[in-house]
Amino acid sequence: MAQNVNNIKDHVDLFHQPEYQELFENKKQFEGMPDAEKVKEVAEWTKTWEYREKNFAREALTINPAKACQPLGSLLAAVGFEGTLPFVHGSQGCVAYFRTHLTRHFKEPVSAVSSSMTENAAVFGGLRNMVDGLANAYALYKPKMIAICTTCMAEVIGDDLGAFVGNARQDGSIPDDFPVPFAHTPSFVGSHITGYDSMMKSILDTLTEGKKAETTNGKINFIPGFETYIGNLRELKKSSLRLI
């Protein structure tokens, strides 16, 4: 086994283990992957003037680039905080899509729960789903924070997250001082980018409430926005350290 509970490896180390290397080799035959020599040849060609001129000669431009829905960005912001459980107020189908998307990309399991809204909730509102869902999620997973976002269905019927979370606290689903940031993230407006920003703002507002001070701790925190390419973050860190 490349890793076990007593020896959890960072994904960079993990994917260099022989089991994964063998897996990647075997995958190539299904993906029609060119051989290493061809990959190297094309990589070299992308550094040439010919390649540069071809790029500058482009005339077509994508005006509306591909976008994903808001809660996806919201989930990504939430999972960046230790012990945080993303909670999607909506149907199971939506959250299954977000989990799959992020799990496929990171090749790591990404946890998220939903309030499992169905036809009843769509007609009568999702308050009960939220109150029960928060109680279950808190008891089962024992998170340090639950970050709630909405989906299209919850937004179309106008569910009010602030009021629902208040009701859930009153009903004893979660303790009074338990942090529950939330963001309204309908997908008929915005995109994964705005979903990330809304959730990040809500988390920061929640965690810093009543703790803002005039003094500084001398640290800078970079918030990269919806950035799923870990190498870019490493590069950002390296470049920043060079500036110090």
Contact positions vs ligand SF4 (CB under 6 A):
69, 71, 94, 97, 151-152, 187
Contacts of residue 83, Cβ cutoff 8 Å, sequence gap at least 6? 143, 144, 145
Measured CA to CA, the distance from residue 230 to residue 235 in angstroms comes to 9
Using only C-alpha atoms, what is the Rg of the chain? 22
Displacement of CA 55 from its chain's centroid (Å): 32
Query: How far, in Å, CA of 72 to CA of 97, rounded?
Result: 9
Rounded to the nearest angstrom, the gap between the alpha carbon of residue 159 and the centroid of all alpha carbons in its chain is 22
- Residue in 78, 77, 211, 196 with CA at minimum distance from that of residue 145: 78
Selected catalytic residue, list 12, 39, 42, 156: 156
69 is catalytic: no
Burial 138-149 (b: 16+ CB within 10 A, else e): beeeebebbbbb
Min dist CB 238 to ligand SF4, Å, is 35
Strand partners, 4: 7
Using CA atoms, how far residue 39 sits from 33, 36, 209, in Å, is 9, 5, 51
CB of 90 to ligand SF4, least distance (A): 6
Catalytic residue among 152, 165, 180, 189: 152
For ligand SF4, the closer of residues 179 and 190 by Cβ is 190
Least separation in angstroms between CB 75 and ligand SF4: 11
CB of 182 to ligand SF4, least distance (A): 15
Residue 39 appears among annotated catalytic residues: no
Q: Which residues are catalytic?
A: 152, 156
